[in-house]
Amino acid sequence: MDAVAARVPAPGGGSSTAWATALAASLVEMAARFAGDLGLAHRVRDLRARALELAEVELHAYEPVLEALRLPRHDPERAARVDAARTEASQSPLEVAQVAAEVAEMAADITQAGNPNLAGDAIAGALLAEAAAQAAARLVAINLVDGPMVSQSSEFAARAQAARTRALN
């Protein structure tokens, strides 16, 4: 937490969304294990592991953007390098949004079919995953403004939102 609060570029929003996704997955995995759904528990465990990998990727994902932005404004390659770097930097938050949407959907499934005593944990997982998906999708939109990756990230955020609604009902 101190590293996130420090006055340094990373870790920041990208790693934080991935860590929130991993935390959400942990809650869903626990609920699935108590419900005896080991298949779901193993799938969400794999998503948790991927989210943690993405948190590590995010620690350095924005560095090329910062390097490109340091180029002189009159450099003829600057705009293309900034665009390419932003596109590349958007890959990991796009995947975080996807993983978070999947976790949210699994949370909704286990909320409806799992142990009622663990519904609160599964709902917490759904809410965390939905928040992570929304934030990650926003990071993509900030980097790219529009385009197919922005549309994809918005779709993942919408899936997570629908899962959250399903988990709460």
Express each pLDDT in 8-54 by its tens digit: 888 989 999 999 999 999 999 999 999 999 999 999 999 999 999 99
Residue pair 99/51 in contact (Cβ under 8 Å)? The answer is: yes
Which residues are CB-neighbours of 167 under 8 A, at least 6 positions away?
104, 107, 108, 111, 112, 122, 123, 126, 127
Residue pair 103/47 in contact (Cβ under 8 Å)? The answer is: yes
Judged on CB neighbours under 10 Å (0-12, 13-18, 19+), 133 is buried
Query: If you ran DSSP here, which 8-state letter would residue 118 be given?
Result: G
Longest dimension (CA), the chain: 62
Q: What is the pLDDT of residues 49-102, one digit of tens each?
A: 999 999 999 999 999 999 999 999 999 999 999 999 999 999 999 999 999 999
Mean pLDDT, the chain, as a whole number? 95
Domains defined for the chain, CATH in brackets: 2-168 (1.20.120.680)
Alpha-carbon gap, residue 41 to 57, rounded angstroms: 24
